[in-house]
Amino acid sequence: MPDESPLTLRQADQLRTDIANVETGLEMIMAQLARLPTRKELALRPLYIIVGSAGLVIAWIELFRRVCL
């Protein structure tokens, strides 16, 4: 089995730089993933929209009934 040649200082420095760039990219991706809404938030959003819309419609009907009739 042939001996692998050890890395030169320049190659080691380039590898450190490459690894640091990869880590920076991973941190950016993890930050973006953390901002995504969770499954629970996505499931409750339509419910909030339905309840809010129903409340606005009921308020409009009551206001219309009291003012115009």
Asked if the structure places residue 54 within a domain, the reply is: yes
* pLDDT tens-digit series, residues 5-61: 777 888 888 889 999 999 999 999 999 999 999 999 899 999 999 999 999 999 999
Q: Which domain holds residue 61?
A: 38-69
For residues 49 and 41, what is the distance between their CA atoms, to the nearest angstrom? 12
Query: What is the per-residue DSSP string for 16-67?
Result: HHHHHHHHHHHHHHHHHHHHSPPHHHHHHHHHHHHHHHHHHHHHHHHHHHHH
- What pLDDT does residue 3 have? 60
User: What's the number of domains the chain is made of?
Assistant: 2
Q: Look up the pTM and report it.
A: 0.49
Asked if the structure places residue 2 within a domain, the reply is: no
Asked if the structure places residue 1 within a domain, the reply is: no
